[in-house]
């Protein structure tokens, strides 16, 4: 299997990575230091949920380049602060050219802040709720190449998580959006086989303490 078929790309630093991050420094840093690494950080989990919602229908690099502007617009994604946003604040955000000005997505961020707070109260943390949906290893592909990666857009686990989150009142949480979310927060490790960072991530996962 060629490097391209495997979904690998060796960068100018000699490191074999998932092909999709290319040579863009911002994208590569995201791939190397964030994507797929398991976390229980509540602020981060809420931020990534919001950003995945904004990404729907767009490329992730578009959202990534606007990330700092999003943080400034949404109080660094502190759920308690965002939950207090009013419709007047929504109208103000719709005039902000630095973010994605989509009323439904902006209102979803506010709604999901409130749902995040309630979920944390009910389960102890948002992380404890989310990690209940980590797939069993037997339900995962034994090898991930470029073609396999492209088929991983939604799974039984993401469908179940989507259903549960919709029941709790979350919005912009369809199965495809949530599978991308699961990939990003480390509920699954979808780095392609042979990616150097993917091996690092698997080591982190091995020592990661899942929340109760």
Expressed as residue numbers, the domain containing 138 is: 3-207
- pLDDT tens-place string over residues 60-93: 999 999 999 999 999 999 999 999 999 999 999 9
φ/ψ bin of 26: left (φ > 0), alpha (ψ from -120 to 50), beta (otherwise) = alpha
Position 80 in a domain: yes
> Pick the catalytic residue: 60, 131, 179, 181?
60
Position 36 in a domain: yes
Position 186 in a domain: yes
Kindly report the CATH number assigned to the domain that includes residue 37: 1.10.340.30
pTM (two decimals): 0.96
The helix/strand/coil state of 18 is: strand
Position 212 in a domain: no
Q: How many structural domains compose the chain? A: 1
Does the active-site annotation cover 44? Answer: no
**Does the pLDDT of residue 1 top 80, yes or no?**
no
Does the active-site annotation cover 46? Answer: no
pLDDT reported for residue 18 = 97
> Pick the catalytic residue: 30, 75, 78, 134?
30
Strand partners, 49: none
The helix/strand/coil state of 9 is: strand
Position 76 in a domain: yes
> Pick the catalytic residue: 35, 52, 179, 181?
52
CA distance 168 to 160: 13
- pLDDT tens-place string over residues 132-187: 999 999 999 999 999 999 999 999 999 999 999 999 999 999 999 999 999 999 99
């Amino acid at each position: 299997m060629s490097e391209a078929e495997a979904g690998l790309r060796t960068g100018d630093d000699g490191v074999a990575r998932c092909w999709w991050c290319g040579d863009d420094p911002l994208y590569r840093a995201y791939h190397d230091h964030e994507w797929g690494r398991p976390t229980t950080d509540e602020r981060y989990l809420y931020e990534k949920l919001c950003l995945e919602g904004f990404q729907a229908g767009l490329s992730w690099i578009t959202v990534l380049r606007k990330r700092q502007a999003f943080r400034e617009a949404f109080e660094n994604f502190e759920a308690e602060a965002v939950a207090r946003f009013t419709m007047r604040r929504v109208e103000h955000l719709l005039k902000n050219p630095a973010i994605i000005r989509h009323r439904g997505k902006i209102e979803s961020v506010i709604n999901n802040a409130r749902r995040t707070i309630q979920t944390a109260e009910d389960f102890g943390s948002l992380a404890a709720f989310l990690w209940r949906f980590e797939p069993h290893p037997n339900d995962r592909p034994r090898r991930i190449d470029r073609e396999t990666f492209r088929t991983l857009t939604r799974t039984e686990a993401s469908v179940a998580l989507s259903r549960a989150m919709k029941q709790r009142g979350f919005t912009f949480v369809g199965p495809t959006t949530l599978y991308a979310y699961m990939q990003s927060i480390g509920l699954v490790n979808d780095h392609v086989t042979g990616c150097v960072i993917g091996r690092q991530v698997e080591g982190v996962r091995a020592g990661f303490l899942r929340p109760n």
